[in-house]
Structure 1
Amino acid sequence: MQPQIPLTRDVVLIGGGHAHALVLRMWGMKPVPGVRLTLIDPRPVAPYTGMLPGHVAGHYSEDEIAIDLARLCRFAGARIVLEPAQGLDLRERTVRAGGRTIAYDVVSLDVGITGDLPDVEGFAAHGTPVKPFARFAAGWRRFLSTGAGQAVVIGNGLGGAEVAMAMAHRLGPGRVTVVGGGAVARAGAALNRRIGHEMDRLGVTLVPGRASAVTEGRVVLDSGRALASAFTVGAGGATPQRWLESTGLPLDKGFVEVGPTLQVRGHPEVFAAGDCAQLTHAPRPRAGVYAVRAARVLDRNLRAAVAGGGMGAFRPQRHFLRLVSLGERRAAAEKWPALPVAPAGAMVWRWKDRIDRRFMRKLTELPVMTTPVPRNAARGVGEMMTAAPLCAGCGAKVGAGMLGQVLEGLPQPDRADVLAGPGDDAGILRMGNARQVLTTDHLRAFCADPGLMSRIAAQHALGDVRAMGARAQSALAQIILPRASEALQARMMREIMEAAGEVFTQEGAVILGGHSTMGAELTIGFTVTGLCDGDPVRLDGARAGDALILTGRIGSGVLLAGEMRQEARGADVAALWSAMARGPGNLRALEGAHAMTDVTGFGLAGHLMAICRASGLGAEIDPAAVPLHEGALALAGRGVRSTLYEANRANAPVFGPEDARTALLHDPQTAGGFLAAVAPDAAGSILAGLAADGVPAVNIGHMAAGPVGISVLRG
């Protein structure tokens, strides 16, 4: 058996710019043993800026220009922390991101620039910068949906010109104005003439001057002239990230000063690349081509910083090709520094389109990295190794049928203080006049972020206590860390316990301690106790006719399986992680439920079947009424299943037509919602109460007299 390689160094990438995206790909192709790689960026998906004008013009969908950072991190074996970076502590070597502190041995910055206009009064409240893209895209969609009004672009650089022409192509003539009109900044004479001609042809109005203020519905110029504007876009130049000012790093007008190795001047453990970096050895205008070309040098030097070896120098070329979108499927070309001609037309567009798509394929069509089957392996090893990867989260559980058979054979001494044992959501103990519930759960990590996994594992472990109507009392942690140096062990344990502490403290519970060890992979679990003032809510209390109320959504197992196979969309995975870490919300409206359970590993059908068996009833449900996590249905339709799916399906068959939606009824859930059987005349008020507390919930069917089993409601 090959010894497990311990983790000894933390490399943290701040920002998902083009250079870091390429580093992630290169790291996935050839990782550095012993390094824990982390990307910090609030976006699970970043746009490729070269195709952004084409998206605005309607030539590309949002997915076509998306660099899926979550997928790249999975490919690279890196964790992604979906928080905005807010500061660096150079002495302690930590990054402040959201409410978290992330330690590093080596850190790299590729945070780009913003389109904010801090010198324009009111822009922050009433304007929309081109960067960050998510905000711009949302504003552009809203503006398109209204179908009326003027758009004003502040800024006459190449970026502003491209966006203005793209908007004009989409909206029609007379709808777009550019403030700062005249010669396009950083463009040669030939390209300026071409852009001026194209703007005239598209009906873009050029207004000389400077914007001094933006109000709702107006842009005010320094001359006092006011322009009507229903959508004001900031494209007025490169504004550095403001938080860099407090880092103590050497800055040139807000940009981080780096030398030939892309190390920050005076701080050899800090690197920077892309638009946020100022190349002190070779100053150049800010252009995406330099970030792309710097990626290979950055990758080499990050490896050298943690593993030894010589570093390379980044020597940016003096001349580069500009391909500028012209609104329609036409583009212009310019060799910078400018040549006296700027050829343009559909052929140049096709040239640009091929280059852009080739770059995107490099970041989206990722090779499948497989582990070879050992020679002379036992029968069955090859089949298991080449099958779908073993799921994590609750999808890694043993099937309910096998577990039930084992539990049935255990001796059950008659104890007056044990009110419920195997078969219910949690054990119930009599403690004087009180009722204490006791449960345990743990999760095999499905992502490389210990803090996120801890938060989700804590929410997941609390599910059985909440389902029984108990108040969380205490918790014991069971932690398996991957083999690592003492420094990395301490960092991981601190992240785990801080996150868990926040969750249990919010529930009024105390972490009493626990047990930790090192093993093959990260696993986090908690044993939780809770107290009930009255009798706990059990599985056996459902009555015929009861309405079935479901909170939350299902489909987490399919999404996690898809993410492991690099088939799920990063935005969908990020939304799922956020929902699991957030918890179920206030469930007080479900007090008085006749029966209740949390929907976890055995799927919605499996947990409903547990209520049916305990109560001696059947159930009828409407699969179309069951809310799904975004992206789950598409993956299920492509045949993606969790490894626990077949066992769940055998344990709780659903009678009715089978399709992708009904397959999700057997999907194992992690930190899922709650299923409650409630009196039919109370269902409306319960749903209203949950909605008032911000808890999404729906009525998915009812309990029925008759044989135990689950049927699909007929329309």
Structure 2
Amino acid sequence: MNDGLPLVKDLVLVGGGHTHALVLRKWGMKALAGVRVTLINPGPTAAYSGMLPGYVAGHYGRDDLDIDLVRLARFAGARLIDGAVTAIDPAARLITVPGRPPVAYDVLSLDVGITSEMPALPGFADHGVPAKPLGNFAGRWTAFREAATAPHVAVIGGGVAGAELAMAMACSLKTRGLAPVLQLIDRGQIVDSLGPNAQRRMREALLANGVTLIEAAEVTEVTADSVILADGRRIRSDFTTGAAGARPHDWQAGIGVALHDGFVAVDRHLQSSNPAIFAVGDCAHMTHAPRPKAGVYAVRQAPVLFDNLRAVLSGGQLRAYVPQRDYLKLISLGGKAALAERFGTALAGPMLWRWKDRIDRKFMRQFDDLTFMGQPDLPLTRAEGLVEAVGDKPMCGGCGAKVGRGALRAALADLPPAGRDDVVMVPGDDAGLLQMGAVRQVVSTDHLRALTADPVVMTRIAVNHALGDIWAMGAAPQAATVNLILPKLSADLQTRTLREIMETADDCLRAAGAAIVGGHTSVGSELTIGFTVTGLCDQAPITLRGARPGDALILTKPLGSGVIMAAEMAGQARGDTVFGALAAMCRSQARASEILCEAHAMTDVTGFGLAGHLSGITDASGTGARLTLAEIPVMSGAVDLAAAGVHSTLLRDNIAGSGPVTGPMGPMTDLLYDPQTAGGLLAAVAEADAAGLIQQLQDAGYAEAAIIGLVTAEPGITLI
């Protein structure tokens, strides 16, 4: 996004709310040179509040409701950190996200919304479902709706949000042919924030949907199957949700800025009492023009926040946000009808729902209409073969950016033997073997072009990827040197990035039993992380050569990271699909290596794909293999992407470099050639032991470990 210019400032956006989503979209079209943008959000999506009642009622699917933050971050050139902020230190300008080193910032913006958790209400934390955050509520509601048989539902909080939810729930459950009992409970009067005309129409709609109104009632406790009121009434409830007012997140009290009832107080520039911290949306209180919590204000704050973030980062002039005095309220009434209210005038009917639907869908389409980076335009006069060398897509990261197996084998074929008694060279094996008396040490090196902009996640992946060679030979990790290429950064950003990488690398390597003993850093065009690692064998190392006909083939991780990350670069992969792939790549293979320590042959499945690495075993062992396609585990979304023609830039090289493969062709077969980053272990084990080993692997957390085929006496790989 910065055309090769150094990055000198860190802008961090905490929360994927409506304002930040729109700011990221604008940033993707007009980035400020020299700024590294980071979005911190718990999860790959952010739910759009305007469509939540329609989703609960069953009018929309989950994809309609969610803004895909992974696609949006890629479009904006931002790094996305998966996590929930728990503290901010304004003096050190550090943000605490559990499970990772602190995130530094120069300028910070908060758009974390509100919560409807009720910590003071006994039993609610254990048995209640807060209506906000929206994403968590949506998932819990879907699970309840699908399992309910005779549902009793209670909604605590009779404001507009609670009334909308109650009617939407009633509509959804009736659509399933159920007869729900819905109770809407409020300590005051239901929907009393509306004008008299709108309030009357809302109450009529609630009753028409079969919602019982319980007013002037104080809730004193929530249990697993009921809501208990102060007057002793016990209201049965299988699903209790809270929509009672707006409550700020507890950690906002520790930021050290001026607050109003716990919300961050901001001025007309959306700036807090600390000039480096902005706040927008429901988590903020506009001191110059107080307004109720409503999404319309968050949406209209976006262009002002965008301009002011650019201004404070570049020394420009800030502009003021002037909110309108009133706004049009479009309220869902359960079925496909809505109520519109403004300036005390209220109307209701199906036409208004269609109007609301058009407005909501138009808002969400902005996040679908994103253009992603393609290949650069080539000059009219160019060398023959340049078009083919460039290819049809940008080069992938991770193992998708590696040299193909065929080219690598050809380059290494004529190298002479090591010529040393203490160096054992096994062509094609995962790591080199050093024999020093009774000590057997294996050594390997791996370097990855970043496939995610988050250096912490990328470091975890790179550590697991490098140690895969050690684990594949049955060795215990011993030591590592770190080799880094950083993009062009200012000295401050270099320090911040190095701290994130090194603290993460140290944690991961220590957990594996290894120590960092040195390293090297340099500056280049993009982030590359690599490790040279050693391990110790207390028994003969497991090599590629020992597979025997009849052995079962075990794979410990699913396939698909190459195609998924290629799709992510092009904005074609769902955010949850990408997060699932990253989580798989971050999963250590240490325990799997211990479980498979008696394997006859073993390798890790990485850049050459399953077919290429299996060919390595069969070539070295003088055998073949038969794979059952239906038994091979794949990552969620990978087959659909392969069927759509998405592939990694290394796919063609992997097909050419693998041994002969016969059998049915199709997207599942394509995934056999998909380059994997930090992939699973592929082991040939005695058939009699295979079922027991799978059980051990699954008990150890490798839920998708599977027997995928067997070793044959006939050469080549056969698919069935």
TM-score by length of 1: 0.97
From 343, 346, 364, the counterpart of 1:342: 346
Cα distance change of structure 1 residues 596 and 191 upon mapping to structure 2, 3 Å threshold: same
Corresponding residue number in structure 2 for 1:215: 223
Corresponding residue number in structure 2 for 1:663: 670
Corresponding residue number in structure 1 for 2:252: 244
In 1: Cα distance, 2:695 partner to 2:180 partner? 48
Q: 1:182–1:206: 8 Å Cα contact kept in structure 2? A: no
Corresponding residue number in structure 2 for 1:625: 631
The DSSP-based 3-state class of the residue aligned with 1:64 is helix
The DSSP-based 3-state class of the residue aligned with 1:330 is strand
Q: 2:375–2:392: 8 Å Cα contact kept in structure 1? A: no
The DSSP-based 3-state class of the residue aligned with 2:275 is strand
Post-superposition offset of 1:189: 1.4
Q: 2:471–2:590: 8 Å Cα contact kept in structure 1? A: no
Larger CA deviation: 11-20 vs 624-633: 624-633
Letter of the 1:472 counterpart: P
From 607, 616, 640, the counterpart of 1:610: 616
Letter of the 2:121 counterpart: V
Q: 1:174–1:205: 8 Å Cα contact kept in structure 2? A: no
Residue by residue over 1:500-542, the C-alpha shift from the partner in whole angstroms, topping out at 9 and shown as x without a partner, is 1111000110101111000000000000000001110000000
Q: 1:174–1:204: 8 Å Cα contact kept in structure 2? A: no
In 2: Cα distance, 1:383 partner to 1:661 partner? 26
Corresponding residue number in structure 2 for 1:167: 169
Is the aligned partner of 1:454 residue 2:462?
no
Is the aligned partner of 1:589 residue 2:595?
yes
Unaligned runs of 5+ in 1: none
Q: 1:114–1:132: 8 Å Cα contact kept in structure 2? A: yes
In 1: Cα distance, 2:430 partner to 2:181 partner? 61
Cα distance change of structure 1 residues 383 and 655 upon mapping to structure 2, 3 Å threshold: closer
In 1: Cα distance, 2:381 partner to 2:94 partner? 45
In 2: Cα distance, 1:217 partner to 1:585 partner? 44
Matches within 5 A, 1:39-118: 39-99=39-99, 100-118=101-119
In 2: Cα distance, 1:211 partner to 1:104 partner? 42
Post-superposition offset of 1:170: 1.2
The DSSP-based 3-state class of the residue aligned with 1:114 is coil
In 2: Cα distance, 1:465 partner to 1:24 partner? 41
In 2: Cα distance, 1:417 partner to 1:306 partner? 58
Post-superposition offset of 1:254: 0.8
Post-superposition offset of 1:185: 3.5
Residue by residue over 1:345-381, the C-alpha shift from the partner in whole angstroms, topping out at 9 and shown as x without a partner, is 1110110000000000011221345575264552455
Post-superposition offset of 1:117: 1.5
Corresponding residue number in structure 1 for 2:191: 184
Post-superposition offset of 1:143: 1.5
In 2: Cα distance, 1:639 partner to 1:201 partner? 50
The DSSP-based 3-state class of the residue aligned with 1:549 is strand
Residue by residue over 1:615-657, the C-alpha shift from the partner in whole angstroms, topping out at 9 and shown as x without a partner, is 0101000111111111111111111000001111122242111
Corresponding residue number in structure 1 for 2:511: 506
Matches within 5 A, 1:549-568: 549-568=554-573
In 2: Cα distance, 1:63 partner to 1:493 partner? 37
Corresponding residue number in structure 2 for 1:6: 6
Q: 2:372–2:571: 8 Å Cα contact kept in structure 1? A: no
Letter of the 2:156 counterpart: I
Larger CA deviation: 291-300 vs 194-203: 194-203
The DSSP-based 3-state class of the residue aligned with 2:132 is coil
Residue by residue over 1:75-122, the C-alpha shift from the partner in whole angstroms, topping out at 9 and shown as x without a partner, is 000000101101111111111111330000000000100111123111
Is the aligned partner of 1:262 residue 2:270?
yes
Corresponding residue number in structure 2 for 1:127: 128
In 1: Cα distance, 2:3 partner to 2:144 partner? 58
Letter of the 1:539 counterpart: L
Corresponding residue number in structure 2 for 1:672: 679
Q: 2:151–2:180: 8 Å Cα contact kept in structure 1? A: no
Post-superposition offset of 1:420: 2.2
Q: 1:545–1:702: 8 Å Cα contact kept in structure 2? A: yes
From 599, 604, 614, the counterpart of 2:605: 599
Post-superposition offset of 1:149: 2.5
In 2: Cα distance, 1:122 partner to 1:560 partner? 43
Larger CA deviation: 506-515 vs 575-584: 575-584
The DSSP-based 3-state class of the residue aligned with 1:342 is strand
The DSSP-based 3-state class of the residue aligned with 2:545 is helix
The DSSP-based 3-state class of the residue aligned with 1:113 is coil
Larger CA deviation: 518-527 vs 308-317: 308-317
Residue by residue over 1:554-592, the C-alpha shift from the partner in whole angstroms, topping out at 9 and shown as x without a partner, is 100010000000000011111221221232351222110
Corresponding residue number in structure 2 for 1:227: 235
Letter of the 2:118 counterpart: L
Letter of the 1:8 counterpart: V
Larger CA deviation: 133-142 vs 290-299: 133-142
From 191, 195, 203, the counterpart of 2:202: 195
The DSSP-based 3-state class of the residue aligned with 1:264 is coil
Q: 2:628–2:709: 8 Å Cα contact kept in structure 1? A: yes
Is the aligned partner of 1:493 residue 2:487?
no
Q: 1:128–1:234: 8 Å Cα contact kept in structure 2? A: yes
TM-score by length of 2: 0.96
Matches within 5 A, 1:295-694: 295-335=302-342, 338-339=343-344, 341-369=345-373, 373=377, 375-376=379-380, 378-379=382-383, 381=386, 387-584=392-589, 586-587=591-592, 588-652=594-658, 653-694=660-701
4+ aligned runs moved over 3 Å, structure 1: 368-372, 374-377, 379-386
Post-superposition offset of 1:262: 0.7
Cα distance change of structure 1 residues 585 and 210 upon mapping to structure 2, 3 Å threshold: farther
In 1: Cα distance, 2:530 partner to 2:381 partner? 33
Is the aligned partner of 1:710 residue 2:688?
no
Cα distance change of structure 1 residues 536 and 305 upon mapping to structure 2, 3 Å threshold: same
Larger CA deviation: 562-571 vs 582-591: 582-591
In 2: Cα distance, 1:299 partner to 1:369 partner? 22
Q: 2:15–2:111: 8 Å Cα contact kept in structure 1? A: yes
Letter of the 2:127 counterpart: H
Q: 1:586–1:695: 8 Å Cα contact kept in structure 2? A: no
Letter of the 2:602 counterpart: M
